[in-house]
Amino acid sequence: MLEHDVLVIGAGLAGMRAAIAASANGANTAIISKVHPVRSHSNAAQGGINAALLDRGDDWEDHAYDTIKGSDFLGDQDAIEVMCSSAGRALIDMEHMGVTFNRDDEGKLGTRAFGGQRRARTFFVGDFTGQALLHVMFEQLIKSGVRSYEEWFVTSLIEEDGQVAGVMALEIRTGQIHAIRAKTVIFCTGGCGRIFEPSTNALIVTGDGMALAYNAGVGLMDMEMVQYHPTTLAGSGVLLSEAARGEGAYLRDKNGHRFMEKYAPNMMELASRDVVSRAEQTEINAGNGVNGCVFLDCTHLGEALIMEKLSQIREIGIDLAGVDMIREPVPIRPGMHYIMGGIKTDINGLTSIPGVYAAGECANVSVHGGNRLGANSLLDTIVFGERSGNHAAEFCRGVEFVDFDEGEAVAREERRINEMLERPDNGDRWGAIRQAMGESMVRNVAVFRDEQSISEAIRDFSDLRDRYNQVPVQNKNRIFNTDLVFALELGYMLDVADTIAFSALERRESRGANARTDFPERDDDNWLKHIVARKGEVGPELSYLPVTITKWQPEERKY
């Protein structure tokens, strides 16, 4: 049987960082991903990565405070302290590995301003920082010699007596089912954006790891905290980086007014994302938009700056909307982008099951709380990817592999998959179910939400679940059967969708990204706490955890 001390699931930035760290600590490490590592969604991070560098006169505690305020005081402050105090080293490590960060006039790393922060501490590579980091991390993965299972899709986690034993995986290229034994598993499977339609997220972002962990009994925390990014392109919903506003772009309504002065007179366009998205939605709802959009105006930035620092998003505007941002404002609207919630872990990435870890967007450490600051996500992946890899390698030294019957495990998984392949054609398609789920989510669990809308989403998901249980798979073949993979992914998405909706319904206040029109105020007395969703008999069972506060007491949030 295939066997590894540390098995990392997902090969984005967090996954590769974890694998490299575990391997460097002497663990027999492998990484498994349903796509080739450089196809991972870390690619899509555009604007940059935050770090407070002392030699720039910055202080990590200032970064921590901005992050805590951005989180609407829901982030755990011990975790935020870890992230912000590790940021400088993590950034310099990436530079040493070869990232081609933009420089200042002295040849040192250059910065740009980003939302929700009082000083410029966002380091960047043009407007494709995530891609630049991801490819360099892949270079380091090659250098490390870590075994990489590419285009292998994990279908279940194997547990024996409350301990992790390994995973089952479908080798997409052959259609073969494999069991892989592992002492530890690190979920680095990214977010779950495709539960929403539209979303800025790539088609592969289907909440796989969250669902696998949830189904194994691990809690998903703060799932109601879904980030709607302020600048997604009209039509396709593709992301246009916050870097545009960081470089000085304006948001305007249909009459050309910079409406942010009403909502965030100090920070204007660079208020935190939840604040800006709510402002845009309020203006659009009041009829001050055009076709459901307001405008991102870069025309005053000049061609030279746009070509040097924003060239990729300019291309996107031209390719997908036929608008050249050098010449005219781009129609944009809030769009689902990120989930702050995820698999509950401690500051070492460890979940409630010994040997099971999580890092990156699929995890909730929690450093983002109710709202993530732009350019903190890349930092999160690298810092907590490394920590979980280190910790998992350490954990392996003290434990033996857990035995399980490989033949039986493979047979069981094959039966499950064959059952799906053999379903009679009833005219339904997984694509239609996913579309209905996504539209319900964006309609009902939106920038603004209330009890009625969220309840409607929950009813929709229940109906869709019934359809899903019968949905046929058209492609009956083995080799590269993506039809089957998508059907399996949809099951994961429906599991996670429930946890989002139930958590959103539960939080009867407005905090961070959970803006309840029926409970418009933040309520620290009753709701300064995390909501944890665990799998129950019928749907998610909810419980609470306290927020860790070290030295920053909750205060009113103004930008």
Partner 1 sequence: MDVTIKIKRFDPEADQPHSYWEDFSVSVPDNATVLDALIKIREEIDGTLTLRCSCRSAICGSCAVRINGHAGLACKTSLSRAIDEDNCVTVEPAGVMKVIKDLTVDFDLFWDKIREVEPYLQPQGAEPEGEYIASNESMLHLSGVTACIMCGACVSDCTVLEVDPTFLGPAALAKAYRFTADPRDGDREGVSRDRLRNLSEATGMWDCTRCNECVQACPKGVAPMDRIMALREQAVSAGFTNNNGARHTSAFTESVGHSGRLDELRLPIKSVGGITNIGAMLSYAPVGWRALTHGKMPPIRHKNVENVENVRRLFRKLEPDLAGPQIGRNSPFG
The residues annotated as belonging to the active site are: 229, 245
Alpha helices per DSSP H over 445-481: 451-468
- Contact region for partner 1 (CB under 8 A) — 14-22, 30-38, 373-381, 528-536? 30-38
A 10 A CB-CB count for 223 gives: 31
CA dihedral 283, 289, 292, 293 (to 10 degrees): -100
Q: How far is the CB of 134 from partner 1 (least distance, A)?
A: 10
Per the CB < 8 A criterion, the answer to whether 185 and 357 are in contact is yes
CA distance 308 to 473: 46
Beta strand pairing status for 176-187 and 356-358? Answer: parallel
CA distance 137 to 84: 21
Report the length, in residues, of the chain.
Answer: 559
The reply on whether position 235 binds partner 1 by CB under 8 A is yes
Name the residue type at position 549.
Answer: I
Q: What are phi and psi of 468, to 5 degrees?
A: -60, -40
In angstroms, how far is the first alpha carbon of the chain from the final one?
56
Beta carbons within 8 Å of 318's beta carbon, 6+ residues apart: 324
Exactly one of 85, 288, 352, 475 binds partner 1 (CB under 8 A); that residue is 475
- Contact region for partner 1 (CB under 8 A) — 155-163, 310-318, 384-392, 454-462? 310-318
Per the CB < 8 A criterion, the answer to whether 508 and 467 are in contact is no
Exactly one of 261, 303, 319, 555 binds partner 1 (CB under 8 A); that residue is 319
Q: How far is the CB of 360 from partner 1 (least distance, A)?
A: 17
The residues in 388-447 that bind partner 1, with binding defined as CB under 8 A, are 429, 431-432
Instruction: Name the token pair of 446.
Output: 């939106």
Exactly one of 478, 506, 545, 549 binds partner 1 (CB under 8 A); that residue is 478
CA distance 82 to 551: 14
Residue 476 in 3-state DSSP? coil
Exactly one of 73, 114, 128, 395 binds partner 1 (CB under 8 A); that residue is 128
Q: How far is the CB of 172 from partner 1 (least distance, A)?
A: 9
Q: How many residues bind partner 1 (CB under 8 A)?
A: 64
Number of continuous H segments (helices) and E segments (strands) in the chain: 16, 21
CA distance 115 to 120: 9
Q: How far is the CB of 98 from partner 1 (least distance, A)?
A: 4
CA distance 324 to 298: 10
Residue 393 in 3-state DSSP? helix
CB closer to partner 1, 203 vs 290: 203
CB closer to partner 1, 130 vs 512: 130
Q: How far is the CB of 311 from partner 1 (least distance, A)?
A: 9
CB closer to partner 1, 143 vs 262: 143
- Contact region for partner 1 (CB under 8 A) — 108-116, 246-254, 332-340, 405-413? 108-116
CA distance 327 to 301: 10
Can the peptide bond before residue 198 be classed as cis, meaning omega within 30 degrees of 0? yes
The residues in 38-77 that bind partner 1, with binding defined as CB under 8 A, are 38-41, 43-44, 55
Q: How far is the CB of 359 from partner 1 (least distance, A)?
A: 21
> Could you give the string, one character per residue 255-294, with x where binding to partner 1 holds by CB under 8 A and - elsewhere?
----------------------------------------
The reply on whether position 239 binds partner 1 by CB under 8 A is yes
Q: What are phi and psi of 438, to 5 degrees?
A: -65, -45
Exactly one of 261, 303, 308, 541 binds partner 1 (CB under 8 A); that residue is 308
- Contact region for partner 1 (CB under 8 A) — 68-76, 315-323, 402-410, 511-519? 315-323
The reply on whether position 473 binds partner 1 by CB under 8 A is yes
Exactly one of 57, 287, 322, 407 binds partner 1 (CB under 8 A); that residue is 322
Exactly one of 11, 64, 132, 532 binds partner 1 (CB under 8 A); that residue is 132
Element holding 499 (H helix, E strand): helix 482-506
Q: How far is the CB of 143 from partner 1 (least distance, A)?
A: 5
The reply on whether position 204 binds partner 1 by CB under 8 A is yes
Exactly one of 1, 26, 160, 173 binds partner 1 (CB under 8 A); that residue is 173
Q: Is 123 exposed, middle or buried (0-12, 13-18, 19+ CB in 10 A)?
A: buried
CA distance 194 to 121: 31
Q: Which of 342, 36, 338 is nearest to 188 (CA)?
A: 342
Exactly one of 109, 213, 490, 500 binds partner 1 (CB under 8 A); that residue is 109
The reply on whether position 312 binds partner 1 by CB under 8 A is yes
Give the gyration radius of the chain's Cα atoms: 22
The reply on whether position 548 binds partner 1 by CB under 8 A is no
Beta carbons within 8 Å of 488's beta carbon, 6+ residues apart: 153, 155, 170, 420
Q: How far is the CB of 114 from partner 1 (least distance, A)?
A: 19
Exactly one of 321, 392, 454, 547 binds partner 1 (CB under 8 A); that residue is 321
CA distance 256 to 277: 18
- Contact region for partner 1 (CB under 8 A) — 23-31, 199-207, 223-231, 363-371? 199-207
CB closer to partner 1, 404 vs 480: 480
Kindly list the residues in this chain that would bind partner 1 in the complex (CB under 8 A): 35-36, 38-41, 43-44, 55, 92, 95-98, 100-110, 125-126, 128, 131-132, 135, 139-140, 142-143, 173, 202-204, 235-236, 238-239, 308, 312, 315-316, 319-322, 429, 431-432, 473-475, 477-483
